[in-house]
């Protein structure tokens, strides 16, 4: 258990080991945030299984390919919390250190997957044209890197801005974007705010020609969604998604000096509520007989994209990307959201299993293939477990 307190973390260290082990679930103490309200509806009931998943007997693939115990996997990946859900039945729920079921945890780039589902809602409502170019909605970007990109290319990460996503390189644009958003101490030459930062980006390759994972692309998408939906991003998220999943608590999203949400990575919530969002998506977007996210949007997402993503560290071998979700191409039709330092939302349609996992790994991106293999193994084991409450 960590001996650090909130006074030990700051904007200068909350993303740096070992301080991130506290910082990732004390974000609201470090970075300005705005609330995404859960609404007035009752929380979706999740019930413990009468025969939970037996961690003592469970093994998963390890980083060297051989089997390791599930306990070793959780320890090696510095797990803060993990929840395994089949239907509305909790087959496993574990918390570590001071992290509890009532704690919020930032989900990092799983935030992108929320944006992808929100886009599907607005597109189905006729508010969002996937073939339109970015300046159709955001003329402020008509002279920049995203000027020729379409909304669909934003969603599939096939826009091609000049943007370096090297997490361990302080001069990379991903770090400059963090500083603009208030996530890291700013330098004298930095712009202030996510959207001024996006507007000053220049240079691009050929949009639509290949996969290029880029956090700035999701922040452009969020800007487009605000203009298409006619409301702020947090309000759109509340109105169309968060108030529908049966969350037990509000979520949050970090904001910059101008109040602009950091849509690419800034959402945070309880572990059970992340699992509830996954349940909604795995249920083809339906919640108590109401279509929240269009089923055909989720079906298109699950079919994957046109370009291989193997070169990207968050991807499975042979994987693709669609609508801000990763598609590993396994025999269960799984798909997932992932964030740095080991945040995962794993959905296995064949097993009907959702796995939500919060972590604080030593490196921003580490052992991704082994992590994915382990989650897939847990989902398959969960499918063989009785789920009666």
Q: Which of 345, 372, 376 is nearest to 112 (CA)?
A: 345
Structure confidence at residue 4 as a pLDDT band (50, 70, 90): confident
Bin 369: left if φ > 0, else alpha if -120 < ψ < 50, else beta.
alpha
Instruction: For residue range 224-263, list pLDDT tens digits in order.
Output: 999 999 999 999 999 999 999 999 999 999 999 999 999 9
pLDDT of 387 higher than 70 = no
Give yes or no for residue 355 having a pLDDT over 70.
yes
DSSP letters along 199-242, please?
A: HT---B--TTSS----HHHHHHHHHHHHHHHTS-HHHHHHHHTG
The mean pLDDT value for 308-319 works out to 85
Q: Indicate if the pLDDT at residue 1 is higher than 70.
A: no
Query: For position 292, what pLDDT does the model report?
Result: 97
Mean pLDDT, residues 293-318 taken together: 91
Mind listing the pLDDT tens digit for each residue in 117-141?
999 999 999 999 999 999 999 999 9
The model's pLDDT over 181-207, given as tens digits with 9 standing for 90+, comes to 999 999 999 999 999 999 999 999 999
64 vs 25 pLDDT, higher one = 25
pLDDT at residue 8, as a whole number: 87
pLDDT of residue 2: 46
Q: What is the pLDDT of residue 386?
A: 60
Which whole number is the average pLDDT over 158-166?
A: 95
Mean pLDDT of 158-183: 94
Catalytically annotated residue among 109, 113, 215, 351: 109
CA distance 330 to 333: 6
- The CA radius of gyration of the chain, in Å to the nearest whole number, is 20
Instruction: Report pLDDT for 388.
Output: 45
Distance CA 343, CA 335 (A): 14
pLDDT at residue 389 greater than cutoff 70: no
Q: Which of 208-217, 315-324, 372-381 has the lowest mean pLDDT?
A: 315-324
Alpha helix segments (H runs only) across the chain: 20-23, 70-76, 110-124, 134-137, 151-155, 173-180, 194-199, 215-229, 233-240, 271-282, 295-303, 368-383
Checking if the pLDDT of 115 tops 90, the result is: yes
Lowest mean pLDDT among 14-28, 53-67, 262-276, 323-337: 53-67
Q: Which residues pair with 79 in a beta bridge?
A: 359
Whether 215 shows a pLDDT value over 80: the answer reads: yes
Active site residue 109: yes
Say yes or no to pLDDT of 109 above 80.
yes
Q: What's residue 316's pLDDT?
A: 85
What mean pLDDT is predicted for residues 17-41? 95
pTM score, whole prediction: 0.96
pLDDT of residue 366: 67
Mean pLDDT of 207-220: 97
In this structure, are strands 89-95 and 47-48 parallel, antiparallel, or unpaired? parallel
Q: What integer pLDDT is reported at residue 6 of this predicted model?
A: 76
Tokens of 163: 């943007």
Q: Which two tokens stand for residue 338?
A: 């992932």
């Amino acid at each position: 258990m960590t001996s650090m307190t909130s006074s030990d973390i700051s904007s200068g260290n909350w993303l740096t080991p070992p301080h991130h082990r506290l910082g990732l679930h004390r974000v609201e103490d470090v970075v300005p945030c705005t609330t995404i309200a859960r609404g007035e509806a009752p929380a979706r009931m999740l019930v413990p299984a009468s025969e939970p998943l037996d961690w003592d007997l469970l093994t998963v693939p390890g980083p060297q390919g051989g089997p390791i115990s599930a306990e070793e996997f959780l320890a090696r990946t510095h797990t803060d919390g993990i929840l395994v859900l089949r239907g509305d039945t909790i087959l496993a729920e574990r918390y570590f250190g001071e992290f509890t079921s009532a704690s919020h945890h930032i989900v990092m780039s799983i935030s992108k997957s929320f944006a992808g589902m929100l886009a599907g809602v607005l597109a189905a409502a006729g508010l969002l044209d996937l073939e339109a170019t970015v300046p159709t909605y955001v003329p402020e970007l008509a002279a920049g890197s995203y000027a020729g990109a379409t909304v669909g290319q934003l969603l599939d990460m096939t826009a091609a801005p000049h943007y370096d996503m090297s997490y361990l390189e302080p001069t990379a644009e991903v770090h400059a974007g963090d500083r603009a958003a208030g996530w890291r101490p700013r330098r004298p030459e930095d712009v202030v705010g996510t959207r001024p930062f996006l507007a000053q980006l220049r240079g691009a390759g050929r949009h639509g020609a290949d996969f290029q994972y880029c956090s700035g692309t999701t922040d452009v998408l969020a800007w487009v969604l605000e203009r298409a939906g006619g409301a702020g991003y947090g309000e759109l998220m509340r109105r169309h998604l968060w108030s529908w999943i049966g969350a037990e608590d509000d979520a949050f999203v970090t904001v910059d000096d101008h109040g602009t949400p950091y849509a690419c990575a800034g959402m945070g919530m309880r572990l059970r509520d992340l699992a509830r969002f996954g349940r909604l998506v795995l249920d083809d977007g339906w919640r108590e007989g109401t279509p929240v996210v269009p089923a055909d949007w989720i079906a298109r997402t699950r079919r994957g994209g046109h370009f291989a993503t193997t070169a990207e560290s968050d991807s499975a071998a042979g994987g693709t990307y669609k609508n801000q979700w990763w598609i590993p191409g396994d025999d269960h039709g799984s798909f997932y959201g992932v964030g740095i330092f080991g945040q995962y939302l794993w959905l296995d349609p064949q097993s009907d299993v959702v796995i939500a996992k919060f972590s604080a790994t030593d490196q921003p991106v580490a052992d991704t293939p082994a992590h994915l293999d382990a989650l897939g193994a847990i989902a398959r084991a969960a499918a063989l477990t009785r789920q009666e409450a």
